[in-house]
Structure 1
Amino acid sequence: MTTPRPRTYRLLGPDGRTRTSTLPGTLGGYRPDRIYGRLDCPSARRALAAGGYVRHRVFFADEPTALAAGYRPCGVCLPTKYLRWKARQGEQRP
């Protein structure tokens, strides 16, 4: 009897490169806009249901990895984190 291989997942690393993991991602992202959010985000679910987004969907192990890869929090499912991110962006402008 053969032992089934564990399922693998493709996650984006802090350097923006795809890695294989035996653990699923905890956050999803949209590559063109470099946004990350919860897997149950209503905005992402609507986009996926409409047939968009799928080709550009990425996953992250955790929030520090998403931030290190240059993604920002979603304003819909992570509004507090998004507002903090946005405020920091304003501080960095001359």
Structure 2
Amino acid sequence: MRYVLVGRDGAPYASASPGALGGHSRGRLYGRLDCPSALRALGRGQYAEHRVFFADEVTAVAAGYRPCAVCLPREYARWRAGGERTAAPCPTHP
């Protein structure tokens, strides 16, 4: 099976392994695959069109994504405190 992940450059690539993290390309955020916020949005029929996947956190950050405030609160707080404001705010949790 082939999976499509986003690389450090933000471009999609084929992978034999699934992503370890999910994200939202419009919100430029990443989080755990079991994130309650993402699962709620997917359940409402939203989000899936802009869903992306990453091999790891380093790749997500390099691609310009920020941590999810819901499922990665420590990482989000660190990102926010560090002024790393390269990614847009979360559309559901600013």
- TM (norm. structure 1) is 0.88
Which position in structure 2 is the counterpart of 1:20? 14
Which position in structure 2 is the counterpart of 1:34? 28
Q: Measure the CA separation in 1 of the matches of 2:75 and 2:29.
A: 12
Deviations 1:23-82 (A, max 9, x none): 000000000110000000000000000000000000000000000000000000000000
> Superposition pairs for residues 1-94 of structure 1, below 5 Å?
7-89=1-83
Q: Measure the CA separation in 1 of the matches of 2:57 and 2:2.
A: 20
Q: Percent identity?
A: 61
Structure 1: tracts of 5 or more residues without a match: 1-6
Root-mean-square deviation (CA, aligned residues, Å) is 0.8
Aligned AA for 1:48?
L
Q: Structure 1 runs of 4+ off > 6 angstroms?
A: none
Bigger helix fraction:
1
Structure 2: tracts of 5 or more residues without a match: 85-94
